[in-house]
């Protein structure tokens, strides 16, 4: 199974008897949420972070979960900023044609800058 939100918090905070809301918020995740697909109510122990950026339940996570906590952190907490204007909110993925091929690039929704990370 992929990691749960609780697995992630455990890995950062360390093993404890109970985890406070603070343990979660301080590390950038909530204590409860809902499944992106079926809207089931989830708590940290049965919430699986998905590569879609949302939480999913055990039934809906499929193969979109993270296998390791390191994977989850790398994907979730790497903030991409526009090199031209510094905007971080409206960055979208796009494709550009270079001499070699069609390649992956990022586009700033604010100033229109397109760059390759
Ligand atoms: Zn679900
Ligand atoms: Zn920009």
**Helix or strand (DSSP H, E) at 74:** helix 69-76
- Regarding whether 59 and 28 lie in a shared domain, the answer is yes
* Average pLDDT per consecutive 10 residues, the chain (117 residues; last block may be shorter): 95 92 89 95 96 93 94 76 87 83 88 89
Tell me the pairing of strands 48-49 and 55-56. Answer: antiparallel
Q: Which two tokens stand for residue 88?
A: 């971080």
- Regarding whether 101 and 60 lie in a shared domain, the answer is no
Count of structural domains, the chain:
2
pLDDT given for residue 78 in this prediction: 64
* Ligand 2 centroid from CA 87, angstroms: 5
* Ligand 2 centroid from CA 76, angstroms: 21
pLDDT given for residue 65 in this prediction: 95
pLDDT given for residue 117 in this prediction: 75
- Distance between CA atoms of residues 106 and 29, nearest Å: 25
pTM of the model: 0.66
pLDDT given for residue 79 in this prediction: 66
- Regarding whether 94 and 69 lie in a shared domain, the answer is no
- Regarding whether 67 and 104 lie in a shared domain, the answer is no
């Amino acid at each position: 199974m992929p990691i749960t939100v609780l697995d992630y918090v455990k890995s950062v905070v360390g093993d404890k008897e109970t985890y406070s809301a603070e343990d979660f918020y301080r590390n950038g995740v909530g204590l409860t949420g809902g499944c992106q697909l079926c809207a089931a109510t989830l708590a940290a122990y049965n919430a699986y972070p998905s590569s879609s950026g949302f939480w999913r339940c055990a039934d809906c996570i499929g193969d979109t979960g993270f296998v390791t906590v390191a994977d989850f952190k790398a994907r979730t907490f790497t903030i991409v900023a526009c090199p031209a204007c510094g905007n971080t909110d409206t960055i979208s993925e796009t494709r550009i044609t270079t001499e070699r091929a069609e390649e992956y690039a990022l586009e700033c929704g604010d100033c229109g800058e397109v760059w390759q990370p």
